[in-house]
Amino acid sequence: GDSVTQMEGPVTLSEEAFLTINCTYTATGYPSLFWYVQYPGEGLQLLLKATKADDKGSNKGFEATYRKETTSFHLEKGSVQVSDSAVYFCALKSGGSNYKLTFGKGTLLTVNP
């Protein structure tokens, strides 16, 4: 079945540091890939997505590239801010099953000033 493996957290960085959160997946067919962000006490918000190989999703300075050859979708940001402190979830949707996302376990990011 489908699965997502995410970098274990927590991750603690200083402001303006470079961020990478690793995400690899197993899926049948050609999944769509997503990163969601959850700020403290809130629901999940879509951060970015990619729907086919070599697509790059980007938003708010975050980027992730859909790498089919390595089955990866790593999240990166060049310079993090305190306001980026949140839990980040990698997720996939496969086979046109719009009702179901398969999530990684989430990575807690804390950015210190």
Partner 1 sequence: NAGVTQTPKFQVLKTGQSMTLQCAQDMNHEYMSWYRQDPGMGLRLIHYSVGAGITDQGEVPNGYNVSRSTTEDFPLRLLSAAPSQTSVYFCASSSPGDRGRLPQHFGDGTRLSIL
Give whichever of 17 and 101 is closer to partner 1, judged by the CB atom.
101
Give whichever of 68 and 105 is closer to partner 1, judged by the CB atom.
105
Give whichever of 78 and 95 is closer to partner 1, judged by the CB atom.
95
**Half-sphere exposure at residue 33, Cβ-oriented, CA atoms within 13 angstroms:** 33
Give whichever of 34 and 74 is closer to partner 1, judged by the CB atom.
34
Residue 4 CB, nearest approach to partner 1 (Å) = 8
* H runs (alpha helix) in the chain: none
d(CA 4, CA 88): 13
Residue 35 CB, nearest approach to partner 1 (Å) = 10
Residue 82 CB, nearest approach to partner 1 (Å) = 22
Residues that bind partner 1 (CB under 8 A): 4, 32, 34, 36, 42-46, 49, 51, 89, 93, 95-101, 103-106
Whole-angstrom CA distances from 40 to 4, 36, 88, 92 are: 23, 13, 11, 23
Quick one: tokens of 28?
């049948």
Would you list the DSSP string of 30-43? --EEEEEEE-TTS-
